[in-house]
Structure 1
Amino acid sequence: MTQTETPRSSGGDVRLRGISKTYGSFTAVHPLDLTIPAGSFFALLGASGCGKTTTLRMIAGLEEPTTGTVELAGQDVTALPPYKRQVNTVFQNYALFPHLDIFENVAFGLRRRGIKSVAKQVGEMLDLVQLGPMARRKPQQLSGGQQQRVAVARALINHPEVLLLDEPLGALDLKLRRQMQLELKRIQTEVGITFVHVTHDQEEAMTMADTVAVMNGGRVEQLGAPAELYENPGTTFVANFLGTSNLIAAEVTAAGGEELVLTAGGATLRLPAGRCRTEARAGGKVLAGVRPEKVALAHADDAGEIPAGHNRLTGRVRDASFIGVSTQYVIDVPGVGELAVYEQNLGRDGRLVPGAETVLHWKPEHTFGLDAEQDIAAGADPGEEAA
């Protein structure tokens, strides 16, 4: 089946109004208002125990909200059981029937509804997930990625308004997981159904989703497009959880114009006022952030070649790790601490070895500012929590 032949749906929007979930004295999800646009690919991203799966299960009807309402395509479904909601869920373990072949696994939902003629619809769905030639194989004869596609086809054949995906790629190895990220995005684009995807994997969320809600402690910490969240994190948790950030405790020495002047480790740094997410006053504190790949390294002997106007700090190389596409450095900066630098391997400087004196430098516009009252390490190592 060609892309133009694939039946499209406008999907349905999802609206959560004041939805929350408590278990005794523990609050898994604090009152939450969230709108997921129809036809979008939406990701709930967070560490274990942040409330993302509980939120998904409340949308599916598998958990009853303690407060609030769930609306699907304009209908209040809060009191409806799962089978009466226009949603289907794909789980991490796929839940395929081992005794049925792929065709019958996909046809199961149609047959359960009493539909006799299923061949055309099943064939179209298997073509959509590129498994047509494998229709008569059993699940155990397929790879993990193929089984995952069967689970998606089985869910989509029921024409749900919303497809819920609960860590669907968690059991796959890294290479296959990346391949399936692109596959899922392709399928969602072709069918046009609203996808709500729960994951703890930042790369997975950023690769596939139009919009990401970063969850932490049962609340949405920040909501936005992947690039916006990465480039302009609003909290230390988001800055650290989405990739790696260097967060530098700094004092504001001048404010009021388009640029803030900061002091950190005896050096002067500049921060665009529009990229500071907290009120900054002279004499106050901020956290100046910069992503490791935005920072360049120069050996101390080449310090004179650094472009004028760059932010710069001096330190010593503590560690250098070659990982193929880049070399990841850890630099000790007096008065600041350890900073990370990721340099693409276009031409490595053999002098940048542990112990070497170096200058870190970056464009001021690549700096962002956060509230210094926050935990500077929040999100860096979320660990495992309950719930």
Structure 2
Amino acid sequence: MKTTDATDGGGDVRLTGISKTYGSFTAVHPLDLAVPRGSFFALLGASGCGKTTTLRMIAGLEEPSTGTVHLGDRDVTALPPYKRPVNTVFQSYALFPHLDVFENVAFGLRRRGIKGVKKQVEEMLDLVQLGEQARRKPHQLSGGQQQRVAVARALINHPEVLLLDEPLGALDLKLRRRMQLELKRIQTEVGITFVHVTHDQEEAMTMADQVAVMNAGRVEQLGAPADLYENPRTTFVANFLGTSNLIEAEVVSASGDDLVVKAADGRLVLPAARCSAPARAGGKVLVGVRPEKIGLTHADDAGSVPENRNRVTGRISSTSFIGVSTQYVVDCAACPEFAVYVQNVDRDARLAPGADVVLHWNPAHTFGLDASQSVLAGTTGDAGAAEGEAA
């Protein structure tokens, strides 16, 4: 099975029919992928999905079983890593402990016999905001500073493409979030193509212009972060990128711009354009809605809910206060664990476990998926989501 890229024309990186097998195990199924020139591109997926193997084939660290790798207009499939115009930053950083920051960054230039490296190194250290740390050794730096040294050392060689393999994985949460913005700033300033491998959905959504969501060696969906989140085409993408409530439903009417479906205790409406499954009267679909799109009203106030909104009834089974919002789990006939996120602006004390409630939302915020898929795909409860990944 091939996955068609979502870009027109060429890019800095083009993979055509590329795959990787190890004996009887297929790490990456044949796929086509184009990474737009000058973009920040993320390969996102759980451990074992094939994302790192794909990155290593771009770098030349793994030989494809089938297919070709083009960088620009040049076929580099048969070239060794050192002859490819790419550099890679790994999670471990791999800095030289006996060299200071300046010499770590200058290393690649000196190895190529380049004289007078001072100006280039200083400009690169200014780019990553480490000019004042030039004479420190790696062990004297924070994790985030070490990561920036690794990026500077890779960029000073002026690669056409920078490959990043889980570069923030060793950092704590607060520092990781700060470094996400830093990496995006650096990529914007230098303007070269970044291809970033990560298992962290928030990281990919924060940094990337385009994201390829990978699962079991295939690209499930490719697009801009907002489009993937708002318009998932599979249950895996719907669940892996955030949280989705998925309701099994039967199509009542499939004419016009809207679909009308029957779900447990009532009818729901969704835009036909947001349904990726074939929709015909009597057919089955999965109706999806994100937790933050939903309003939660106590059953005593059900009459205040506008008639034009989708609604289901249920009973609160648990609540979690997390500061900016309260997360509710509601037991509904349509969905046994319906998640609702409500901002903590005007909290209703009646909305506690055991309370009967109405869940309601704008029909435009609803999407539809093929009902033949597992509703658990992409969740931690999906035992088949991850396989052992070679490389």
Shorter-chain TM-score: what band?
Answer: over 0.9
Q: How does 1:265-284 map to 2 (within 5 A)?
A: 265-284=264-283
Per the alignment, residue 200 of structure 1 pairs with 199
Q: Does 1:241 align with 2:264?
A: no
The answer as to whether partners of 1:264 and 1:336 remain within 8 angstroms in 2 is: no
Q: Does 1:151 align with 2:143?
A: no
Is the 8 Å Cα contact of residues 61 and 82 (structure 1) preserved in structure 2? Answer: yes
Tell whether the 8 Å contact from 1:245 to 1:290 is kept in structure 2 after alignment. yes
Provide the C-alpha distance between the structure 2 equivalents of 1:349 and 1:262, rounded to a whole number of angstroms. Answer: 31
Matched position secondary structure for 1:337: coil
State how far apart, in whole Å, the 2-side matches of 1:115 and 1:335 are: 67
Maintained 8 Å contact 1:255/1:280: yes
Aligned pair in 2 of structure 1 residues 219, 12: CA closer, same or farther (>3 Å)? closer
The aligned counterpart of 2:315 is: 316
3-state SS of 2:302 partner: helix
CA drift at 1:336: 2.9
Matching of residue 52 in structure 1 with residue 62 in structure 2: no
Give structure 1 regions of 4+ aligned residues with deviation exceeding 2 angstroms: 382-385
Cα separation, 1, equivalents of 2:233 and 2:313: 27
C-alpha distance after superposition, 1:289-335 (max 9, x if no partner): 00000001000011111122100000000010000011000000024
Hey, what does 2:306 align to over in structure 1? 307
1:86-235 alignment runs, 5 A limit: 86-235=85-234
Give the gaps of 5 or more residues in structure 1.
1-10
Shift of 1:255: 1.3
Task: Report if the CA contact (8 A) 1:12-1:194 is conserved.
Answer: no
Give the aligned CA root-mean-square deviation in angstroms: 1.1
> Which has the higher mean CA deviation after the structures are superposed, 17-26 or 258-267?
258-267
State the Cα distance separating 1:153 from its structure 2 match.
0.1
Partner secondary structure for residue 171 of structure 1: coil
Give, in angstroms, the shift of residue 170 of structure 1: 0.4
TM-score normalised over the length of structure 1:
0.96
In 2: Cα distance, 1:283 partner to 1:275 partner: 18
Shift of 1:12: 6.6
Residue 258 of structure 1, CA deviation: 1.1
Say how many residue pairs are matched. 377
- Specify every segment of 5 or more residues in structure 2 that has no aligned partner in the other structure, as ranges: 1-9
The one-character-per-residue Cα deviations of 1:114-151 (angstroms, maximum 9, x if unpaired) are 01211000000000000000000000000000000000
Q: CA deviation at 1:352?
A: 0.5
Task: Tell whether the 8 Å contact from 2:316 to 2:354 is kept in structure 1 after alignment.
Answer: yes
In the alignment, which residue of structure 1 is the partner of 2:387? 385
Partners of 2:305 and 2:45 lie apart in 1 by 38
Report if aligned partners of 2:216, 2:387 keep a CA contact under 8 Å in 1: no
For residues 81 and 179 of structure 1, do their structure 2 counterparts lie closer, same or farther at Cα, with a shift above 3 Å needed?
same
Cα shift at 1:253:
1.1
- The aligned residue for residue 370 of structure 2 is 371
Q: Percent identity?
A: 79
Shift of 1:385: 2.5
CA distance in 1, matches of 2:63, 2:333: 53
In structure 2, what is the Cα distance between the partners aligned to 1:347 and 1:179?
A: 31
In structure 1, what residue type is equivalent to 2:335? V
- Correspondence for 1:6: none
- 1:160-203 per-residue CA deviation (whole Å, 9 max, x = no partner) reads 00000000000001100000000000000000010000000000
Query: Shift of the alpha carbon at 1:279?
Result: 1.0
User: How far off is 1:78 after superposition?
Assistant: 0.5
Q: Distance in 1 between matches of 2:282 and 2:122?
A: 68
Q: Is the 8 A contact 1:299 1:356 kept in 2?
A: yes
Paired residue for 2:18? Answer: 19
Q: Give the distance between the partners of 2:204 and 2:171, measured in 1 at CA.
A: 15
Whole-Å separation in 2 of the counterparts to 1:228 and 1:92: 28
Equivalent in the alignment of 1:5: none
Q: Which residue of 2 aligns with 1:258?
A: 257
Q: Distance in 2 between matches of 1:255 and 1:34?
A: 34
Provide the C-alpha distance between the structure 2 equivalents of 1:12 and 1:32, rounded to a whole number of angstroms. Answer: 16
Which amino acid is 1:21 matched to?
K
1:7 paired residue number: none
Identify the residue that residue 6 of structure 2 maps to in structure 1.
none
Give the aligned partner of residue 4 of structure 1: none
Q: TM-score, normalised by structure 2?
A: 0.95
Measure, in 2, the Cα distance between the counterparts of 1:308 and 1:207. Answer: 36
Whole-Å Cα distance in 2 between the matches of residues 327 and 354 of structure 1? 13
